[in-house]
């Protein structure tokens, strides 16, 4: 492991880490020495994920809570600090989507997606910053999305939330730099995860993504991890307010 990317002694909370991109990023941080606290809503699954990491000799723990529950989310951040004695890295990754034409959206659905994908990230950030300021060091990373750069029909609340996150990265970066806290995003294209199961089950859509991607394939979750490792480690000490696009080149091609 290069010393530049070492996170030994650092404590990270990764939301939505019971599978998919969150688990892959948590594993990447743990591989590089961080103690990772995995979050999701199901304690049993999280316990199994922690075992996968500790079996490899990594330091891992879990905390089950719903990021949409403001009180639980704030307590979750504080619990990490209380149990592990420091709070260095927040990867606010948990997210969801709904797909339907504009006419079919209810306001309840709109608010649910915005709460899961945007408001929860604000809440967790606000709480984490209190602890990060103690050490004048922090790394905040959001999982944004290619849909913050390119639209798709039907996922209006998701696109609004992810585009909002990209903007929030910039305003927080501007405010928090004097505290030694950086705020950046990893911006994935299409990856093979449960979130995309309905799309993966549609051969025409799978081919559409393959055709629109210079690398002619979907991403594997572990391919997002190195971007998160860079942004979470001291290697990115002069990088803030940015997005690292990991999309097989999709956003570069007309
Ligand atoms: N996959 C892609 O191609 C892609 C592309 C761009 C952006 N993203 C973003 O990447 C992030 C992760 O997506 P993914 O593809 O890995 O999805 P996924 O496989 O569906 O995993 C989502 C994770 O979030 C957890 N989660 C969902 N709602 C939660 C809540 N309210 N509170 C706490 N945990 C919650 C899930 O665990 P439980 O259900 O057990 O709680 C799970 O661990 C999302 O923000 C997504 O928008 C994904």
Q: Which of 58, 142, 158, 190 is catalytic?
A: 158
Closest CA to 132 of 180, 98, 66: 180
Regarding the beta carbon of 45 and ligand 1, being less than 6 Å apart is answered: yes
Regarding the beta carbon of 230 and ligand 1, being less than 6 Å apart is answered: no
Query: Is the CB of residue 87 less than 8 Å from the CB of residue 11?
Result: yes
Alpha carbon nearest to ligand 1 atom 47, residue: 95
Reading the block at residue 29, the tokens are: 């941080």
Query: Is the CB of residue 93 less than 8 Å from the CB of residue 136?
Result: no
DSSP string of 52-81? HHHTTT-EEEEEE--TTSHHHHHHHHHHHH
Tell me, in angstroms, the distance from the centre of ligand 1 to residue 188's CA. 12
Regarding the beta carbon of 251 and ligand 1, being less than 6 Å apart is answered: no
CB atoms within 10 A of CB 34: 27
Tell me, in angstroms, the distance from the centre of ligand 1 to residue 117's CA. 9
pLDDT in tens, the chain (254 residues): 568 999 999 999 999 999 999 999 999 999 999 999 999 999 999 999 999 999 999 999 999 999 999 999 999 999 999 999 999 999 999 999 999 999 999 999 999 999 999 999 999 999 999 999 999 999 999 999 999 999 999 999 999 999 999 999 999 999 999 999 999 999 999 999 999 999 999 999 999 999 999 999 999 999 999 999 999 999 999 999 999 999 999 999 98
Q: How many CA atoms lie within 13 A of 215 on its CB side?
A: 13
Residue 58 bears catalytic tag: no
Reading the block at residue 112, the tokens are: 């649910």
Report angle CA 241, 243, 247 to the nearest 5 degrees.
180
Q: How many CA atoms lie within 13 A of 172 on its CB side?
A: 28
Query: What domains are defined for the chain?
Result: 3-193+222-246 (3.40.50.720)
DSSP string of 175-230? HHGGGTEEEEEEEE--B-SGGGHHHHT-HHHHHHHHHHSTT-SPBPGGGTHHHHHH
- Beta-carbon contacts of 189 under 8 Å, excluding residues fewer than 6 positions away, are 146, 213, 219, 245, 246, 247, 248, 250, 251
Regarding the beta carbon of 155 and ligand 1, being less than 6 Å apart is answered: no
Give the model's pLDDT for residue 1.
Answer: 56
Tokens 């590089």: give the residue.
32
Q: Which pTM was predicted?
A: 0.98
Regarding the beta carbon of 240 and ligand 1, being less than 6 Å apart is answered: no
Closest CA to 144 of 68, 19, 243, 213: 243
């Amino acid at each position: 492991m290069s010393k530049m990317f070492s996170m030994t002694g650092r404590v990270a909370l990764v939301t939505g880490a019971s599978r998919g991109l969150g688990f892959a990023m948590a594993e990447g941080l743990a591989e590089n020495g961080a103690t990772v606290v995995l979050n999701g809503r199901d304690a049993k699954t999280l316990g199994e994920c922690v075992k996968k990491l500790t079996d490899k000799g990594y330091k891992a723990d879990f905390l089950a809570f719903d990021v949409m529950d403001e009180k639980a989310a704030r307590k979750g951040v504080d619990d990490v600090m209380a149990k592990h004695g420091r709070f260095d890295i927040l990867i606010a990754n948990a997210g969801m989507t709904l797909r339907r034409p504009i006419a079919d959206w209810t306001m309840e659905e709109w608010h649910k997606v915005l709460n899961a994908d945007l408001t929860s990230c604000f809440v967790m950030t606000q709480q984490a910053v209190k602890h990060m300021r103690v050490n004048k060091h922090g790394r905040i990373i959001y999982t944004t999305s290619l849909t913050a750069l390119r639209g798709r029909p039907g996922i209006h609340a998701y696109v609004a939330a992810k585009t909002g996150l990209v903007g929030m990265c910039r305003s927080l970066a501007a405010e928090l730099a004097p505290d030694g806290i950086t705020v950046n995003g990893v911006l994935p294209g299409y990856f093979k995860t449960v979130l995309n199961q309905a799309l993966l089950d549609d051969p025409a859509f799978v081919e559409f993504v393959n055709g629109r991607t210079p690398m002619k394939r979907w991403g594997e979750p572990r391919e997002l991890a190195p971007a998160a490792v860079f942004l979470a480690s001291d290697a990115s000490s002069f990088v803030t307010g940015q997005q690292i696009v990991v999309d097989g080149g999709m956003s570069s091609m007309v």
